[in-house]
Amino acid sequence: MTNCELRSPVGGPPVTRTGARSPKRVRLASFVVPTPTNNILSFMQVSDASATSLSPSNDAPWDDLLEWLVEGHGMKVPEHICRKASAGAGFGLYAAKPCPPSTSLFTIPAKALMNLRTLAPHYPDASAISATCLIALHLLLNRPQGDSASLDPLFGPYISVLPVDFSSHPLAWLVRCGREPPGCAPCEEKLLQALPPSYTKSLSSLYDRFLVDWKNISKYISSHPEALRNAHAGSPSIAAFQNSKDPLIVDFVWAWLNVNTRCIYRQLKASRSHPDNLTLCPILDFANHTSDFSSSISPVSSLTDIWQAPSKSPAGDDFTFISSSKFSYPEGAELFLNYGAHSNRTLFVEYGFINRATLDEILEGSFSGEVDVEDILQPMFTSIGDAGREARMILDEEGYWGDWTLHSCPPPAYPSYRVIVALRLLCIFTAPAPREQAIKAWRETLLGLRDRVSEDNETAWRQKLAICCRAVMERAEIRCASPGGNEGTGEGAGWVPWMWQNIAQVWQEEYYVAKAVEISVMNNEMF
């Protein structure tokens, strides 16, 4: 097997089409040299002296994608990369040749990027919906049916290479379990119930975002039914868009998650922070995440980045990517992308996976473990009645209510500054001493005018922090002993045992990060 030969993905998600090639392929005769031994793509770009061969990879949808990019959009043959299965992560991008630091990996022509600029000309009044909605709608209207390729004349070969389903993603469980009658497997319900409260809360926010987008698309379709002429995947009716109980919403999960898990930032609007600055980028979107930024693939700065102004050309600029500037990669090495400095909670909820770590890595602080303790601290406020409500009002006014986290890295493990601020105030409200002076002193700590409220307050909040750590540990201990699943029974698809391992690690992370912070408190570490 060569380094780029296709294997079926094993373990985790996503599931990607590996079947037959598109029946609609049109080959340009002068480009194609069919091999006698197989019917898989093999062609020389004879019209271009600098071109190299695009050799068959036994991965038909991928070959179709490359053919579309090279023949249809004039992309230079990407010699350094290929996709193949990555254990526990679906497919990944791999080095097809040795890659010294800063190797130019590939350039995606602007017209092959799926975003606001390339889709808007095909939709009426496209500015009425967000880029996320527009891309998701286009995917929905062109979802491949069964084993067939997407029939979309614009992006068909790209859509055909996207994951066929997102059954291992927690949003998919939530949407299916919320339908009547529940459309999810019993193991999915159990997985949802086994999550830490902060994961459940973040997942619920993701679900809200998903529903808002669905509602906006429904509104858009009812005002612009002619947008449905872009449909090449059956013909969804206008009524299907108006009914959140219609099965179409399950297809929309597929479309929306493709956008949410695969889009990359791309400045297309005048404002750098505009939420529509995103694009689906073929090839790049097969790069899996690394938490190590220095080993990440990165985009080459374009004029857009340098001038911080969007490209004036209608489709935008081409998009070039290079390998890490620090490391060399041998042939066969996986090439990763850094998705951002995300906690495991964010990775799990948004992308459906977590960074794996050993217990030693969490305890030593070499792994960036994080625990959200909002659901433990909030009751500490509510349990003191009016005083707690007043304290909450003050924290709200100052912008410090909620989003309270503990961290293992860099060592020594520590509470976030927001936790310290909240606990200091809580201890003012639970102390017998008059509050007015203490609250003034607390405000001064926020302004950097003093470093503590008082010695007593310092001792008190550290004790409360230790109590909070204990509460996290006790809850996690119960969950680690009995995660609540059918781990050993083999129930569910291949990804289910993998997901139970993720959830087991999530609880271990809760336990050991809290333990590491408790140790820091006992060691009198200064935070």
When asked if residue 14 is in the footprint of ligand SAM (CB under 6 A), the reply is yes
Q: Whose Cβ is closer to ligand SAM: residue 218's or residue 505's?
A: 505
Q: Whose Cβ is closer to ligand SAM: residue 230's or residue 338's?
A: 338
When asked if residue 16 is in the footprint of ligand SAM (CB under 6 A), the reply is yes
When asked if residue 88 is in the footprint of ligand SAM (CB under 6 A), the reply is yes
When asked if residue 351 is in the footprint of ligand SAM (CB under 6 A), the reply is yes
- Write out the H or E segment, with its range, that includes residue 104: strand 104-108
Question: Closest approach of Cβ 288 to ligand SAM, in Å?
Answer: 3
Question: Closest approach of Cβ 23 to ligand SAM, in Å?
Answer: 23
**CA gap 43, 53 in Å, rounded:** 6
Q: Closest by alpha carbon to 55, among 40, 69, 68, 65? A: 40
The bridge status of strand 414-415 relative to strand 405-407 is antiparallel
Q: Closest by alpha carbon to 364, among 519, 155, 188? A: 519
When asked if residue 89 is in the footprint of ligand SAM (CB under 6 A), the reply is yes
Question: Closest approach of Cβ 161 to ligand SAM, in Å?
Answer: 8
Place of tokens 């679900």: 207
Torsion (CA) 59, 334, 370, 132 in degrees, nearest 10: -40
Cβ distance 406 to 416 under 8 Å? yes
When asked if residue 12 is in the footprint of ligand SAM (CB under 6 A), the reply is yes
By rule CB under 6 A, what string of x and - marks binding of each residue 162-201 to ligand SAM?
-x--------------------------------------
When asked if residue 90 is in the footprint of ligand SAM (CB under 6 A), the reply is yes
Cα→Cα distances 428→117, 289, 481, Å: 54, 43, 37
Dihedrals φ, ψ of 109, to 5°? Answer: -60, 145
What is the total count of residues that contact ligand SAM (CB under 6 A)? 19
Question: Closest approach of Cβ 156 to ligand SAM, in Å?
Answer: 17
Which two tokens mark 244?
């959140």
Question: Closest approach of Cβ 43 to ligand SAM, in Å?
Answer: 25
Q: Whose Cβ is closer to ligand SAM: residue 213's or residue 285's?
A: 285
* Among 309-317, 318-326, 346-354, 511-519, the segment contacting ligand SAM (CB under 6 A): 346-354
* Among 12-20, 25-33, 179-187, 515-523, the segment contacting ligand SAM (CB under 6 A): 12-20
Site for ligand SAM in 250-309 (CB under 6 A): 261-262, 285-286, 288-289
When asked if residue 13 is in the footprint of ligand SAM (CB under 6 A), the reply is yes
When asked if residue 497 is in the footprint of ligand SAM (CB under 6 A), the reply is no
* Among 19-27, 82-90, 319-327, 444-452, the segment contacting ligand SAM (CB under 6 A): 82-90
Q: Closest by alpha carbon to 471, among 512, 425, 514? A: 514
**CA gap 38, 41 in Å, rounded:** 8
- Hey, which residues does 54 pair with through a beta bridge? 43
Question: Closest approach of Cβ 95 to ligand SAM, in Å?
Answer: 16
**CA gap 190, 170 in Å, rounded:** 11
Question: Closest approach of Cβ 18 to ligand SAM, in Å?
Answer: 11
Q: Is the dihedral of CA 437, 438, 441, 442 positive or negative?
A: negative
Question: Closest approach of Cβ 84 to ligand SAM, in Å?
Answer: 10
Question: Closest approach of Cβ 296 to ligand SAM, in Å?
Answer: 12
Which residue's CB comes closest to ligand SAM? 90
Cβ distance 42 to 53 under 8 Å? yes
Q: Whose Cβ is closer to ligand SAM: residue 90's or residue 109's?
A: 90
How many residues are given for the chain? 527
Question: Closest approach of Cβ 286 to ligand SAM, in Å?
Answer: 5
Which two tokens mark 159?
């859509």
End-to-end CA distance of the chain: 53
**CA gap 389, 301 in Å, rounded:** 50
- Write out the H or E segment, with its range, that includes residue 92: strand 91-95
* Interface ranges with ligand SAM (CB under 6 A): 12-14, 16, 88-92, 163, 261-262, 285-286, 288-289, 351-353
